[in-house]
Chains A and B, each alone.
Chain A
Amino acid sequence: MLVEALVLSAILFVIGTFGVLLRRNAIIIFLCIELQLNAVNLSFVAFSRYLGIDGQLFVFFVMTVAAAEAAVGLAIIISVFRHFEAVNVDNFNLLKW
């Protein structure tokens, strides 16, 4: 079942990449990044079944960092929305106001 899980993880990661590049809504881009993180977590868990518990600890830390990233990212999106009245990423490509 290990190889099947790794293939599923690769498929989810590619779909996430596709979504990041295809969409313009910053919130959907964030969701797709979470999808990519989850795909990697799936690989870690699949390997940890055979190679020891450390993979699951890595997943634990990845989830924590993902939570922190989502909180800060959404705060940035709110701040950008106040300025442009939209969350379209084409509006903010200059890294400055």
Chain B
Amino acid sequence: MVDVLFFVFAAMAVGGAFGVVLQKNPVSSLLFMVGTLGAVAGIFVLFEAHFLAAIQVIVYAGAIMVLFLFVIMLLNLGHDYKADIRSGLGAFVAFATSGAIAGFLARQFRGAADNPIYQQFPGPEGMDQLLAEQGIVGAIARPLYTEYVVAFELVAILLLVALVGAVALAKKRA
């Protein structure tokens, strides 16, 4: 069951990703992106990362994608698609570079399933026990406020700086 769901979500994610790249209308691209993010959130659930799946749907697919949509509509880009997708040399460079990355990654994955390093991985039992003891949110919250508290505070400052920076950049010059 879990395997079947994984492949369903994987097909949705890949199809949505192709939609993002190939749709001419930016609004359609964006809606395909929301589909991809939703499918990836489904895969997060299959890996027992329920908190991150919720964050992915609420923050990513909800807030960030709506921010993109606001900008597309503010700039009125819905019907201006001339010369968006590159052709000729630009398309060749795109195919060559992503093909090279794909080839490199495919080499890494050849025979990956019987790579000895995966035999040394502990099974999912440890994580199951942690989630059963501390709950789904507690398992993330405890290290977030102890080991990673400095990074957490820095990220809060980063968000404040980004907020001020975005307002300063986007406002009309006097």
Contacts and interface: CB of A to CB of B under 8 A. Distances in A.
A14 B109 contact: no
A72 B163 CA distance: 8
A50 B6 contact: no
Given A4-B6, A22-B90, A75-B165, A34 B64 contact: yes
A6 B112 contact: yes
A76 B169 contact: yes
A35 B20 contact: yes
Interface string A3-20: 111111011111111110
A65 B21 contact: no
14 contacts: A1-B46, A14-B102, A15-B17, A21-B94, A21-B97, A22-B90, A27-B77, A31-B68, A50-B124, A53-B140, A56-B51, A57-B144, A75-B168, A78-B170
A8 B10 contact: yes
Interface in B131-173: 139-140, 143-144, 148, 151, 155, 158-159, 161-163, 165-170, 172
Given A4-B10, A64-B159, A81-B75, A70 B64 contact: yes
Contacts of A50: 121-124, 127
- Most B-side CB within 10 Å, residue of A13, A31, A65: A31
Contacts of B71: 27, 74, 77-78
A21 B80 CA distance: 19
Nearest to A50: B121
Contacts of B109: 3, 6-7, 10
A76 B26 CA distance: 18
Contacts of B2: 1
Interface size class of chain A, counting residues whose CB lies under 8 Å from the partner chain: 35 or more
Interface string B29-54: 11001001100100110111101100
A64 B160 CA distance: 11
Interface in A57-97: 57, 59-61, 63-72, 74-79, 81-82, 86-88
A61 B29 CA distance: 26
B74 A24 contact: no
Interface string A26-61: 011011101100100110011011111110110111
A27 B122 CA distance: 42
Given A35-B17, A50-B127, A53-B140, A67 B59 contact: yes
B116 interface: no
Contacts of A17: 97-98, 101
A72 B165 contact: yes
A22 B91 contact: yes
